[in-house]
Amino acid sequence: MKILITGNLGYVGAIVERCLRKAHPDSIIIGYDSAFFALSTTGAEVLPERLLNAQYFGDVREFPDAMLEGVDAVIHLAAVSNDPMGNRFESVTEDINYRASVELGRKASKAGVSHFVFASSCSVYGFAPGAARTETDELNPQTAYARSKVNTEKGLSEIADNKMIVTCLRFATACGMSDRLRLDLVLNDFVACARATGEISVLSDGSPWRPLIDVRDMARAIDWGISRNADDSARFLALNVGSNDRNYQVKDLANAVAEAIPGTKLSINRAAQPDGRSYQVDFSLFRSLAKDHQPRVTLLQSIYMLDEGLRGMGFADPDFRNSSYIRLKVLDAHIEAGRLTPDLRWSTQASADF
Ligand SMILES: NC(=O)c1ccc[n+]([C@@H]2O[C@H](COP(=O)([O-])OP(=O)(O)OC[C@H]3O[C@@H](n4cnc5c(N)ncnc54)[C@H](O)[C@@H]3O)[C@@H](O)[C@H]2O)c1
């Protein structure tokens, strides 16, 4: 099997590479990424991409057809990958996350790819009070990022044909340790706060609901997506990926971290405005279809692995929210230095001092 992973130099990609190399030792795995965060590795002794057969650098907005030659499965992770970046780069988010993604799907189908897996998000449910949302419930995206995921799912459903099996995995919020760790995710942020300052201060009132999934479990779900048989379900699927027992309120997550890391103080801003993003999600469909690829990592295991990883890195930066572990900060620094253009393309100008 030949597998192409776009956006593989990211937080999730680093773990997907490990999972797939283990599950498919003889396959050819290649990566394609614009490398926005390529230097943001954490505690890795060698590049995580050593497990690949080849790494290519490029932009999915100019995706070369030749890259798809002989490819059986595409895992499409490349994206402007969270709300703060989506808000700051709204039209670029639409171009990269939506237009380029649907175009890649079209090219993949034409090239004879058999499985196309798209990394969607439960944020498509946006503000969804009340019962846990299922795949047939109405979507209510609140941000440019979430809208881009909704539009891409729709675009991919329209190009789905008899040739390619398309799976849109609506992931719960990611958490957990990775060789390319990011700290702009709720659980990761809490563990980093506890480790660096001994204190977690929840900026919201803590009431929003967030389903969580560890990156290792995301990787297992992706492995299911590239191998699934369409006979027992549909050729096109958009489904929630996580587990019913991992819907948490933000304050529960903060409490769990404070209890797991002794000595951590916790403050919750009870006067804060409620967050516009809150949803519980029903993962029963994923449970029934992907029996052998269900989430296994518990909340406590995610916390302990993060804590161990951070301690192993000697992490102690109380100002980490302004550091290279925060994706928006990395992009802003590249733009300020003239390395990236405002529409997130690398500048090929040599520096003046050469
Ligand atoms: N982390 C989460 O909570 C979460 C949850 C649900 C879904 N997802 C989705 O999973 C995917 C991977 O997320 P992640 O956390 O690893 O994100 P990440 O930001 O760490 O990695 C994304 C990668 O995509 C690359 N990329 C961005 N624009 C590109 C372009 N134009 N051309 C080529 N490469 C480009 C970046 O360089 C980066 O390496 C994303 O699609 C994201 O939306 C993430």
Q: What is the pTM of this model?
A: 0.96
At residue 45, the pLDDT reads 86
pLDDT at 41: 87
The amino acid present at 271, given as its one-letter code, is A
Nearest CA to ligand 1 atom 18: 10
CA of 46 to the centre of ligand 1 (A): 21
Name residue 260's amino acid. A
Where do we find the tokens 């516009």?
A: 276
Would you state the structure tokens that stand for residue 227, as one six-digit string? 């191998």
Q: Which amino acid is at 195?
A: R
Q: Sign of torsion, CA 293 294 296 297?
A: positive
Distance of CA 239 to the CA centre of its chain: 15
Q: What is the pLDDT of residue 24?
A: 97
Rounded distance between C-alpha atoms, residue 74 and residue 289, angstroms: 20
Q: What is the pLDDT of residue 129?
A: 84
Which tokens hold the place of 329? 């900060």
CA distance 340 to 201: 33
DSSP letter (8 states) at residue 177: -
Strand ranges, E, within 151-258: 165-171, 173-175, 199-202, 209-214, 236-241, 247-249
pLDDT, tens digit (0-9, with 9 covering 90-100), for 201-233:
898 889 999 999 999 999 999 999 999 988 767
Our mutation pick for probing the ligand 1 site, out of 60, 77, 143, counting the most ligand atoms within 8 A of Cβ, is 77
* pLDDT computed for residue 204 by the predictor: 82
For ligand 1, atom 9, name the residue with the nearest CA: 119
Q: Which residues of the chain have pLDDT under 70?
A: 232, 274, 352-353
CA 228 – CA 299 distance, rounded (Å):
27
Please count the other Cβ atoms lying within 10 Å of the Cβ belonging to residue 109: 21
- Inter-axis angle of helices 299-312 and 186-197, nearest 10: 50
Q: Which residues line ligand 1 (CB under 6 A)?
A: 7, 9-13, 33-37, 59-61, 77-81, 96, 119, 121, 171, 173-174, 182, 185, 327
Q: How far is the CA of 7 from the centre of ligand 1 (A)?
A: 6
Q: How far is the CA of 6 from the centre of ligand 1 (A)?
A: 9
Enumerate the β-bridge partners of residue 323: none
Residue 27: its pLDDT value, please? 98
